Amino acid sequence: MKNRFAIAIPFIATAMVVAVAVYQSRTVEPTLGEDDFARLGEIVGYASKVLPVDETTKNVLPADTIVERRLYTAKDGSWHVVSLVIGGKSKSSIHRPELCLPSNGLAMSDPSTVDVDGISWRKLVLEGKDGNRAAFAYTFYNHAGFRTSSHLHRIFRDVWDRSIHGRIDRWAMLTVVSGSSGTHAVKRFLAELKGLVK
């Protein structure tokens, strides 16, 4: 009995793959969701200025990707650089930040997940070659209201929506680099960004 079942497994797996392939071949081209995300703006109690997006970033990302960056400075001198990346049709618009941070000469440590007012953020401590440390946090969300700090969950949700629902949800990645590496100070600022995450 066990041998029969073991022999049947490859056939069952093949049938499932063929069924999915046939289903996808008969579905229409997925439609791209609207760009209705909140943008980076002023935050009460912080001075802010728009930071330019470097040419390398513009050239690497697909043309329909939207990128915004701002520096927020509090009265006590603490600062936070916030980046908002809104993806387009291509899956390559957004990637896991841990992939590019080391190439910028930054060492990562103390990974954790923090919850701020019901929004999950992935937090790391970054250390530059000069020994300076800063906190780094990020979260993902789409225009359909799905939020996660897990890149893996984001990928699964994106594949599901593209394959089953026939739609490409625009995804946003919100990242924060804070001059203070302390969790309390970072969480206080992340709470200020809640309006950006729908």
Listed by start position, the domains of the chain span 31-196
pLDDT digits (tens, 9 = 90+) for 41-56: 888 889 999 999 888 7
pLDDT digits (tens, 9 = 90+) for 162-196: 777 777 778 899 999 998 767 788 888 999 888 77
Architecture, CATH, for domain 31-196: 3-Layer(aba) Sandwich (3.40)
Q: Are 32 and 162 in contact (CB under 8 A)?
A: no
pLDDT digits (tens, 9 = 90+) for 6-52: 676 777 767 666 665 555 555 555 566 666 677 888 888 899 999 99
Q: Are 142 and 169 in contact (CB under 8 A)?
A: yes
pLDDT of residue 34: 66
For the entire predicted model, the pTM comes to 0.78
For strands 133-142 and 66-74, give the pairing: unpaired
Residue 139 pLDDT more than 90? yes
Rounded to the nearest angstrom, the gap between the alpha carbon of residue 116 and the centroid of all alpha carbons in its chain is 16
Q: Tokens representing 109? A: 């440590």
